[in-house]
Amino acid sequence: MTRRTDIAALRDDFPLLTGGGNLVYLDSAATTQKPNAVLDAIRNYYVRDNANVHRAAHALADRATTAFENARRAVQAFVNAQHAHEIIWTRGTTESINLVAQSYGATTLRAGDEILISVLEHHSNIVPWQLVAAKTGATLRAIDIDDRGDLDLDDFHRQLSARTKIVAIGHVSNALGTINPIKEIVEAAHAAGAIVVVDGAQAAAHLPIDVRDLDCDFYALSGHKMFGPTGIGVLYGKEALLDAMPPWQAGGEMIETVTLEKTTFNRLPYKFEAGTPNIADAIGLGAAIEYLHGIDGAALRAYEANVVAMARARLGQMEGVRIIGNARVSTAVVSFAIDGAHPHDVGTLLDQQSVAVRAGHHCAMPLMQRLGIPGTVRASFCLYNSAADVERLVAGIDKVRQLL
């Protein structure tokens, strides 16, 4: 198929950004905007096919089920999973990680075992492991970073041991944009007898994902960070691990038979999908993947890299502006601080100029503590951003500096 290479033209696909006004949206690491293809898919489901899936014997249900399962197969292809039943629908990355922590972690970890995370992690890849460690008696340990914001791989290898049972690591840091060397981490963890859980929330919109090449055991992502709807996400898990794990939630769809004395559980993936699923938004996520599939990946990554490099260069030249994080390999995040200004004040003043950024600790408080700062201003870029957006950000920062 012919894929789109004119990345700058993609902005026209996003009605919130083209509906008038002068908004510069630089908060895609929090949530991406949605293209018409996704909005149309959700509307079409509710207008033409609204019915529950897998249950009723009528045409609406048949069409809804087909679209729902086609979306699952789209995710399978997107992450290159071996089987569609290795794709579990969740509400997002947070729920996916909690599912692994409570189903796999809580039933396999013992006192003396260790869970290894990093100080780069989002709270959603810290707190679930704290809870399961408290429940099981396991110990939670964290890999340090260097001054550039890269994972300290020497520290990783020092801490990895036969006691390590789970390594939970982000593919991309939401606060610094650091891309972690997942394949190297997986290889070392498996050699030590540990399984690896990857938080892929920040990677999905920017990097190709191949779970079989990575050989990770679990991979979690969120639809709303890759141009899909909120409230839908995915847990990929290796079939053997998912088969061995007990259900996490109970109710309709995840059962095979029920008597008052005993319940037997449905096959994968339905064992982990209790209740009526988020049908419309799964279909919307399938449409988002189709949308991404229609874009030339190399052209997209080159375009984003150029915009981010321009932002880093322009901000790096500004007096009193300090870029936080300079990882050797990173993606579309530029975090910075302005001397003498609190990040929240900067964010508010930029918002008054219609420049939307994120300000604060970015749900990464241990990282901010490690860096010795209260937080940063984060400009996160995506395929619909441009050099003009960078110039608006720079002009906005100039005005902030004058005001403060």
Residue 310: pLDDT above 80?
yes
373 domain-assigned:
yes
Residue 252 and residue 309 in one domain: no
Neighbours of 288 (CB within 10 A): 29
Please tell me whether the overall predicted TM-score, pTM, comes out greater than 0.85 for this model.
yes
Residue 276 and residue 354 in one domain: no
Q: How large is the average pLDDT for residues 232-244?
A: 98
Residue bearing tokens 């109970």: 250
Domain limit, last residue, from 230, 259, 293:
293
Residue 186 and residue 272 in one domain: yes
Domain limit, last residue, from 235, 259, 293:
293
CA distance 170 to 145: 13
327 domain-assigned:
yes
151 domain-assigned:
yes
Residue 180 and residue 318 in one domain: no
* Chain segment 100-151, per-residue pLDDT in tens: 999 999 999 999 999 999 999 999 999 999 999 999 999 999 999 999 999 9
Q: Is 373 helix (H, G, I), strand (E, B) or coil?
A: coil
Residue 134 and residue 189 in one domain: yes
Q: How many residues does the chain have?
A: 404
Q: What is the pLDDT of residue 403?
A: 87
Residue 318 and residue 371 in one domain: yes
Residue 5 tokens read as 């290479």
Question: The CATH number of the domain where 161 resides is what?
Answer: 3.40.640.10
CA distance 386 to 245: 45
Residue 25 tokens read as 């949206």
Residue 19 and residue 115 in one domain: no
CA distance 225 to 78: 14
Residue 332 and residue 287 in one domain: no
Residue 11 and residue 54 in one domain: no
Question: The CATH number of the domain where 332 resides is what?
Answer: 3.90.1150.10
* Chain segment 154-189, per-residue pLDDT in tens: 999 999 999 999 999 999 999 999 999 999 999 999
363 as an active site residue: the answer is: yes
317 domain-assigned:
yes
Residue 55: pLDDT above 80?
no
Residue bearing tokens 């606060």: 175
35 domain-assigned:
no
- Look at the chain and report how many structural domains it folds into: 2
CA distance 153 to 255: 43
Q: Is 52 helix (H, G, I), strand (E, B) or coil?
A: coil
Q: What is the pLDDT of residue 38?
A: 98
Residue closest to 183 by CA, chosen among 171, 192, 165: 171
Residue 249 and residue 336 in one domain: no
Question: Are 187 and 139 in contact, with CB atoms under 8 Å apart?
Answer: no
Q: What is the pLDDT of residue 23?
A: 96
Residue 255 and residue 360 in one domain: no
Cα distances (Å, whole numbers) of residue 395 to 8, 29, 78: 21, 22, 38
Q: What is the pLDDT of residue 312?
A: 97
Domain limit, last residue, from 247, 268, 293:
293
The helix-helix angle for 59-79 and 279-293 (nearest 10°) equals 50
Cα distances (Å, whole numbers) of residue 403 to 17, 348, 375, 395: 28, 12, 20, 13
What range does the domain containing 360 cover? 7-30+296-403
Q: What is the pLDDT of residue 56?
A: 76
Q: What is the pLDDT of residue 404?
A: 82
Of 363, 367, 383, 400, the active-site residue reads: 363
Q: Is 248 helix (H, G, I), strand (E, B) or coil?
A: coil
Residue 56 and residue 177 in one domain: yes
